[in-house]
Structure 1
């Protein structure tokens, strides 16, 4: 979730609408499912790892066995896996992905809990020194949630960069695409710009969603001043309601996935799709749609 009305900054820079997407007007429901499956089987750059089974939630300790089972499910489909935390079993994701030859973007989850932040930062540094981290992400939407000040965040990022000096591991911070326009200090300290881009959360109709996501990427690219931009999250929920023009449905979830993957491959854009598995616990701030962002359902079965 990465949009607030008061934080939206309209972008009038370079037009990044490079691909209009697939014309689905003649597709039957079965045609759409076939194309979705074909697109998935052709492989993704990256996928966001969904940690929790039905009945689990953050704070629960997750076993190696559970993580390995899910990593094995994702392995045939994705070159990279992104994790969000380095404690409570989340540290297994980087190690097991590395064991299976999958590259990792490993996140330290930062919040207003300074004790947990210490554990997260030390965990990220340790995993990197083990050789299990290909990109280090120091925090996720911390500024969006107002959990830390910009200065506090920059201090954590500096600490990780200094600890990983000489290891050739890019360090960045994940947030909504517009935060990098608002805070040039983030661009300056980052080795790579890690941008979340969600047309759904901006109420965009599915027909304009690919174009809108390209504009989001364009704004982050403009702010990056030549540094590499990676889309660290983008996706569409398969059920759960709507937000202005954005409707949650199986059809729209398939269309968005297909178009995103097509554009990413043709334009050589690195995208981590959100998300791998449905997670029932994610119904707080996001409402009922929060539980339905996965390509796989909560029982680890492909949806379509």
Structure 2
């Protein structure tokens, strides 16, 4: 989807001026207008939030549910990222392709070897059937210590042999690719998650920090393509050191990230599309508020008081 940059000329910063400083003279309504301008202009990609209220991983998801959420996202992006290939998640790339969208399809790996095998074989079949543009073998598996590096390398090697025409990578925090050169070497493309919030970075430094994260992974990749598979900012919840959730910060982070991605021609899958209540468990109250749409699939930030 082309982005009409000429519509944003009033917001272009002078060379060398930090983008955050532009917001000093902007009212909340100004920021909301720019947020909508960026969103409607079209963004690189969204992480597909599949679970509704009362659902969580393990819930079997229907075709109708995936299709409804895909219809909401389609006007704003041409790419989606999925996180699993079983329990209805395999419908995400299939329906995305019906909508003419690109896909980054992930096999979720954990400690359950039987489920891991199901995920891997489903990913391979989806790729062979033409539903996969990028294949992600695992998501933060090493961060969680669910698999050893050797185990993960064996799985990546197997998947690459089975789908040789599809770029294969592994998703993890940006710094893992410098610390684990064997994993980096095995990947066709580097899939890195970049979260200034989770490192306690205050909003005014968040954009620069996110860029540093990306370039850290870029240097580790030694010429390989790097895609930001997750980055975002929560709108509500508990602060983490200097990182404060708020509607305004969430909008400004969305604007900064997506204008930069356009300017630098970087692929970004923004986290996330919809709020998911189940994430309160693993991430605390802030985990439920990363979406651009709320848990009822209503676009956030556009009605009522903004703070």
Q: How many residues are aligned here?
A: 286
In the TM superposition, 1:82-231 aligns within 5 A as: 82-165=81-164, 168-231=165-228
- Structure 1's consecutive aligned runs of 4 or more residues displaced over 3 angstroms after TM superposition are none
Gaps of 5+ in 2: 1-15, 302-307
Counterparts of 2:115 and 2:177, CA distance in 1: 25
Greater share of residues in helix: 2
Tell me the equivalent position of 1:43: 42
Counterparts of 1:49 and 1:97, CA distance in 2: 10
Shift of 1:19: 7.5
Shift of 1:143: 0.2
Tell me the equivalent position of 2:271: 274
Counterparts of 1:46 and 1:242, CA distance in 2: 26
Tell me the equivalent position of 1:15: none
Query: Given the alignment of the two structures, is residue 252 of structure 1 paired with residue 249 of structure 2, yes or no?
Result: yes
SS at match of 2:106: strand
In the TM superposition, 1:231-242 aligns within 5 A as: 231-242=228-239
Q: TM-score, normalised by structure 2?
A: 0.92
Shift of 1:285: 2.5
CA change 1:61–1:19 in 2 (3 A) is farther
Residue pair 1:21, 1:263 contacting (<8 A) in 2 also: no
Q: 1:49-89, CA deviations, whole angstroms, 9 ceiling, x for partnerless residues?
A: 00000111110100000000001110111111000000000
Residue pair 1:45, 1:79 contacting (<8 A) in 2 also: yes
Q: 1:130-160, CA deviations, whole angstroms, 9 ceiling, x for partnerless residues?
A: 1000000000000000000000001110110
Tell me the equivalent position of 1:3: none
SS at match of 2:80: strand
SS at match of 1:274: coil
Instruction: Identify which of structures 1 and 2 has the higher relative contact order when contacts are C-alpha pairs closer than 8 Å and 6+ apart.
Output: 1
Tell me the equivalent position of 1:20: 18
Greater share of residues in strand: 1
Shift of 1:226: 0.4
Counterparts of 1:19 and 1:140, CA distance in 2: 35
Counterparts of 1:121 and 1:228, CA distance in 2: 23
Q: TM-score, normalised by structure 1?
A: 0.93
